[in-house]
Amino acid sequence: MMLCMTDLRLPVTVPSTALFTDQYELTMVQAALRAGTADRRCVFECFTRRLPEGRRYGVVAGTGRVLDALESFRFDERVIEFLRHGAVVDEPTLEWLASYRFTGDVWGYPEGEVYFPGSPVLRVEGTFAECVLLETVILSIMNHDSAIAAAASRMSVAAGGRPLIEMGARRTHELSAVAAARAAYVGGFSKTSDLAAGFRYGIPTTGTAAHAFTLLHDSERDAFTAQVESMGSGTTLLVDTYDVKEAVRTAVEVAGPELGAVRLDSGDLLLMAHRVRQQLDELGAKETRIVVTSDLDEYAIASLAAAPVDAYGVGTQLVTGSGHPTCSMVYKLVARARSADPAAELEPVAKKSTGGKASVGGRKWAARRLDEDGFAQTEVIGSGPVPPDLVDRQLLVELVRGGKVVGREPLDVARARHVEARAGLPLSATQLSRGEAVLATQYV
């Protein structure tokens, strides 16, 4: 049984997430404290007004990291001294921040679920001051992770069930790489090359050798022999350092027909895969797998659908969201009370704006209406009573209650949920051709 590191609640990489914050969030708290409005009960929602161009659905990822970040959102002495030294806020505000603890509630789409324009993927409720401080850290996590998960999901569809390996650590910031590996796992990748991601989140890791290992040795045969003697015949040998045909022959001679896999990292992958498969079969290595890498994206993976490829390794395009590194999610106040009285009624509020930046006020629920065949038909969003036929189709789940995390779950649960959620969408959702969101959003 594999140990699930998520269950160990390993610490985040910084002692506090409180400074993953834009300054204006603190200055708003200062002004609200002075005005006597900081304690008014409020509802903020995280959503996107539109999907990235050409995308037909979004993927919720990063929810678990948000919960971790919320628990670590503390203004310790060093942070307070930094804010004091920079005269960011006044002393009464620093005193308030020093004792900050989020005491509100958070509801949201469960991780791995799909979303559409307007979907309230997170709903944060509490006082204005305690909720507004979380804007930047929530958006930075949700925008990054959901973008990576959406790219991973598209690549998973294109792979048609063949395994995908996340290999993007060297193409992004070292901490982003860990988050990207986690999001890719939610979106359908099965392994990562990043050991930090394996340690922190229990994601299976993999890796063998690069071209440098072959170049180190006096001959390719020497390199293959060293690797097989160290790692066994089930290892993966990189065969495109010099001449691929000669390398495949040497690889089978060294490892025998039990050779685990060969990897192709350059050239015409479609042509090379067919040639290598034929050569391996002729050499008796019929069970040896072919792994391809080399700047793949969902379109390149789809173009190899008919090729005898057994697995794909993806780096740059994955960790950059395959052209869409953000989901453009926003965090908006949608309801607030007129006083600090906990019993005061919430009133809908919304920004009025031109240019497509208007929002819809009110504390919202969301549900997904199905067609007669059981496939998703409409994303229904409302702020009033839930229609009886949608009561059992609601999407938001409780994540935080009274400041305590209640919705943490193993990463494999989110991964399995995404497979189920994607399978419940209309078939056109999996098309790689450009198109609009596969579900229309209906406000009621």
Separation CA 225–CA 237 (nearest Å): 10
Cβ pair 75, 84 in contact under 8 A: no
Alpha helices in 48-89 (DSSP H): 63-71, 77-85
Separation CA 359–CA 22 (nearest Å): 22
Per cent of the chain over pLDDT 90 is 93
The confidence score (pLDDT) of residue 14 equals 63
Separation CA 247–CA 238 (nearest Å): 8
Homologous superfamily (CATH) of 174-322 is Aldolase class I (3.20.20.70)
CA distances from 257 to 213, 234, 287, 386 (A): 22, 10, 8, 62
pLDDT digits (tens, 9 = 90+) for 205-254: 999 999 999 999 999 999 999 999 999 999 999 999 999 999 999 999 99
Extract the tokens encoding 329: 């999610």
The confidence score (pLDDT) of residue 174 equals 92
Extract the tokens encoding 244: 């691929």
pTM as predicted: 0.94
Task: Kindly indicate whether the domain formed by 16-148+324-443 is annotated with CATH number 3.20.140.10.
Answer: yes
CB atoms within 10 A of CB 15: 12
The confidence score (pLDDT) of residue 156 equals 98
Residues of the chain with pLDDT under 70: 1-14
Radius of gyration of the chain (CA): 25
Helices 63-71, 135-159: axis angle to 10 degrees equals 150
- Domain limits, the chain: 16-148+324-443, 174-322
Separation CA 66–CA 136 (nearest Å): 11
pLDDT digits (tens, 9 = 90+) for 53-104: 989 999 999 999 999 999 999 999 999 999 999 999 999 999 999 999 999 9
325: CB partners within 8 A, 6+ apart: 144, 147
Helices 135-159, 411-423: axis angle to 10 degrees equals 60
Kindly state the helix (H) or strand (E) to which residue 255 belongs, with its residue range.
helix 244-255
The confidence score (pLDDT) of residue 357 equals 77
Instruction: Give strand pairing partners of 12.
Output: none
The confidence score (pLDDT) of residue 372 equals 94
Domain 16-148+324-443 and domain 174-322, same fold? Reply is: no
The confidence score (pLDDT) of residue 6 equals 46
The confidence score (pLDDT) of residue 12 equals 41
The confidence score (pLDDT) of residue 13 equals 55
Cβ pair 440, 377 in contact under 8 A: no
